[in-house]
Amino acid sequence: MNYAFRMKLKPGAVAEYKRRHDEIWPELSQLLREAGIYDYSIFLDEEDMHLFAVLKLRDNNKRELLPGHPVMRRWWVYMQDLMYTQPDGRPNEWPLTPMFHFD
């Protein structure tokens, strides 16, 4: 199953956002895999600073458990200065509606 959503960067945060993701923590990568997430990409629309994320979820995924995990929460705090977030540091996330798929 595919899942897509958008987030938004703060002005001037592009280079640092990319750097931090280029150096993603091994424990976060492992957590995402264990939650059933794979083939995860994030794209930037530089015109409005929106990030568009697309990921694949295994049928038995546990994505809904990620917000309570300490590693995920630590990552959100680490990224909070770069993105628009909720008070607990979780990025503001807007789900995207699938409109077309080509295999």
The verdict on residue 93 lying in a domain is no
The verdict on residue 95 lying in a domain is no
The verdict on residue 16 lying in a domain is yes
Known active-site residue 69? no
Number of domains comprising the chain: 1
Distances 60 to 36, 68, 88 between C-alpha atoms, Å: 7, 18, 27
pTM: 0.92
Marked catalytic residue, from 21, 50, 69, 101: 21
**All residues at 6 or more sequence positions from 37 whose CB lies less than 8 Å from its CB, including other chains:** 55, 56, 57, 58, 61, 63
CATH number, position 20: 3.30.70.100
Domain of 22 in residue numbering reads as: 2-88
The verdict on residue 73 lying in a domain is yes
Percent of the chain past pLDDT 90, that is, above it, reads 97
pLDDT at residue 19 is higher than 90: yes
Segment 19-36 mean pLDDT: 98
The verdict on residue 26 lying in a domain is yes
